[in-house]
Amino acid sequence: MSDEQGFSPEERRASFTLAGIFGMRMLGLFMIMPVFALYGQDLIGFSPLWVGLVIGAYGLTQALLQIPAGWLSDRIGRRPVIYAGLALFALGSVVAALSDSVYGVAIGRVLQGSGAIAGAILALAADITREEHRTKAMAIIGVCIGISFALAMVAGPLLAAWFGLPGVFWTTALLALLGMLMVHFLLPASASKGQIRDVTAAPELFGRLLKDKQLLRLDFGILLLHLTLTAVFVAFPLTLLDAGLAAERHWWLYLPTLLLSFLLIIPFLILGARRNLNKQLFQASILVMMVALVLMAVGQGQLWLLALAMLLYFTAFNFMEASLPAFLSMLAPAGAKGTAMGIYSTSQFFGAFLGGVLGGVLFQQLGGGGVFLLVAFSMAFWFWLAAGMVNVSQVRSHILPIGVNIENKDARELLLQRLMALPGVHEALIIPEEGAAYLKVDGKIFELDQARRLINL
C-alpha cells in the first residue's frame, strides 16, 4: 500500500537505485581527473595537451548525445537506452584500460561520454514517482552526483596508487556492469509516460529558450564552471607534486578540503533562501573562485597555500553547482523545465570539453600558473555577466495531475483562466497529452491545496 504522505516503497527503491546508477557513472567519469596527469606519463604520445583532451573528451559526446538519447527513450523506452548507455560506458572503460597510448585512452573517454543516459534516468524517475514526489526523487539524484564527485577525488588517487591507471578504468567498467545489474534486479517495472516536459526536452521550445537572456546567463555560467574544473585538474595534480605531496597522498588534501567545503556552504545556502540573497552570494562565490585560482598560481611550491586555494575553490564550486540548477528551475517557463535543463546540461558538458582543451594548450605553453591565471580572468568576465541576473528566490514550480475532462478546448481554457486567477500564480500551462497542469508561482502566497481542489472539481 502506498503512503500518500510520503514515498511509497517502490518510489523510494526506484529513486535510490537510479541515484546510485547515475552516481556510479559520474564517479567513473570523474575519477580520472585528479590522476591522469600523474599516472599517464608512460603512455605513448603523452603531453599536456593530451592530458586536457583525455580529461575533457567525454564532455563532447555527452553534450552532443544527451538530448537525442532522452528523445530516444521517449520512443523505445527508458531501460533500453539506459542499458545501451551503460554498455557503451563499460566498452569505453575497457578500451581505455587496454590502451598503451593517450590516443586510445581518449577514444575510450569519447565512448564513455557517448553513453549519455542522464535524460533517460531522469525520465524514468518521473515515470515511477508520483508528481508530488518527483522533486524529492530528483533531489536524491542530485545529492548522489555531488557525493560521487567527492568520492572520485579520493578513490581516483587511491586506485591509481594501488593498481595504476588501468585499474581506474577497470573499476569504472565494473561500476557500469553493476549499474546494469541494478537496472535489472532493483528497478520496479514501469510504463513509459512518453515526453514529460519537466524532465525531457521539447524541440518546439528551443528557439524560445535560446532567446531568454536570464537562462542564457545560467547556461554560460555552468559552461564556465565546468570549463574551470577540467582546466584546473589538467594542472593542479602536477602542481601538488611539485610542492612535495606524493601522488599516492593527494587524497590527503582532497578529502578534508571537500568535506569542509560541503559544511561551509550549508549556512550560505540557508541564508540565501531565507534572506533572498541568492544572487549576492552567487556573485561572491565567483569572486572566491577567482581568488582561489590566483592563489593556485602564486602558491607554486607552497603546500599550505595550495590547500587553502583548493578549500576556497571547492567551497565556491559546490555552492554554484547547487545554486545554478535551483535558479534554472525558478526561471524556466512553465512546462519548459526539461528543455531548459537539456540546454543547460549540454552547456555543462561542452564546458568540460572546452576546459580540457584550453587547459592542455595553456599548460603546454604557459605552465600551471598560466592555466590558473587565465581561467581566473574568465571568472572576472562571469562576475560581470552575473550582474544582470534576477533574484527569484520565492518562485516555485508545481506539476499537478488534472482530474477533470480536459479534452474539450473550452474546458481547458476555462480551467486555465481559473488557475491564473489564483493568488500567487505567475504562469500556468495545461498539457492534455500528459493530463497535467504546470504552474509557476510565488511560494509566499500561493496555496497548493486551493489549486488541487480547483483542478479536481
pLDDT in tens, 160-197: 999 999 999 999 999 999 999 999 999 887 766 666 77
Q: Name the residue with higher pLDDT: 368 or 443.
A: 368
- CATH class of the region 395-455: alpha beta
What is the pLDDT, as a whole number, of residue 2? 42
Q: Mean pLDDT, the chain, as a whole number?
A: 90
Nearest in space to 398 (alpha carbons), one of 329, 345, 456? 329
Please state, for a pLDDT cut of 90, what percent of the chain lies above it.
62
Average pLDDT, stretch 395-413?
76
**Was domain 209-393 assigned CATH 1.10.10.10?**
no
The pTM assigned to this predicted structure is 0.91
Dihedral (CA of 262, 268, 272, 278) sign: negative
Decide if pLDDT at 457 tops 70.
no
The pLDDT-based confidence of 201 (bands split at 50, 70, 90) is confident
Decide if pLDDT at 1 tops 60.
no
Is residue 312 a contact partner of residue 295, using CB atoms and an 8 Å limit?
yes
Average pLDDT, stretch 72-80?
90
What is the pLDDT, as a whole number, of residue 5? 57
Give dist(CA 439, CA 248) in Å, integer: 51
What is the pLDDT, as a whole number, of residue 453? 84
Decide if pLDDT at 263 tops 70.
yes
Three-point CA angle 170, 69, 139, nearest 5°? 75
Give dist(CA 319, CA 310) in Å, integer: 14
The pLDDT-based confidence of 4 (bands split at 50, 70, 90) is very low
**CATH level 3 topology of 1-200:** Growth Hormone; Chain: A; (1.20.1250)
List the domain boundaries for the chain: 1-200, 209-393, 395-455
What is the pLDDT, as a whole number, of residue 192? 65
Average pLDDT, stretch 324-340?
87
Cell of 31: 575519477
What is the pLDDT, as a whole number, of residue 3? 44
The pLDDT-based confidence of 414 (bands split at 50, 70, 90) is confident
Give dist(CA 69, CA 63) in Å, integer: 11
Nearest in space to 346 (alpha carbons), one of 55, 6, 65, 75? 65
Two domains, one topology: 209-393 and 395-455? no
What is the pLDDT, as a whole number, of residue 404? 58
